[in-house]
Amino acid sequence: MTAAKQGDTVRVHYTGTLDDGTVFDTSIGRDPLEFTIGSLEVLPGFEAAVVGLKVGEKKTLSIAPEDAYGVWRREKVFTLGRERLPEGMDPKPGMVLEGRTSAGAVSFLVLEVNDREITLDANHPLAGKQLHFEIELVEIVRSA
């Protein structure tokens, strides 16, 4: 049986959890995730874990924040005057707002709101988190 290698297009089922066991993403119950190994479509550590697997094999791995969505950075939390928001917008803590920067589309988590200001967090929701994955190679769609 052939093992997955660089350049192969593969399909995997996976479940991603945090340190406390919370599932943050899974393909269970839907189609497997398809990607080409080496194309940087998924986290590099996730991709590397598939290399060498044969169809039906499973692997468990952990990815440090630095190798996933980065460390949580205080400088990505900032306050805006409410007058900078679109007219009629009524943000609430916990809401996710979409915006644009010179780098492209960005999501902002609303942390606090008062009459004058809104505090936003532009860190990725998984920034600063150790990620744990269970991966199963379901199929090698195309071999390199």
Please give the Cα distance from 58 to 135 (Å, whole number).
5
Q: What pLDDT score was predicted for residue 102?
A: 80
Regions of the chain where pLDDT drops below 70: 144
Please give the Cα distance from 33 to 73 (Å, whole number).
30
Q: Do residues 6 and 137 lie in contact, with contact meaning Cβ atoms separated by under 8 Å?
A: no
Q: What pLDDT score was predicted for residue 100?
A: 80
* The one-letter amino acid at 24: F
Q: What pLDDT score was predicted for residue 106?
A: 86
Please give the Cα distance from 96 to 110 (Å, whole number).
6
User: Where does residue 127 fall: left (phi above 0), alpha (psi -120 to 50 degrees), or beta otherwise?
Assistant: beta
Where are the chain's structural domains?
A: 9-69+127-142, 74-121
The reply to whether 9-69+127-142 and 74-121 are identical in fold is no
CATH code for the part of the protein at 9-69+127-142: 3.10.50.40
Give how far Cα 105 sits from Cα of 22, 43, 80, 94, 110, Å: 27, 19, 18, 19, 16
Express each pLDDT in 87-96 by its tens digit. 889 999 999 9
Please give the Cα distance from 3 to 50 (Å, whole number).
9
**CATH topology for 74-121?**
Thrombin, subunit H (2.40.10)
The token pair that represents 106 in the structure block: 């960005």
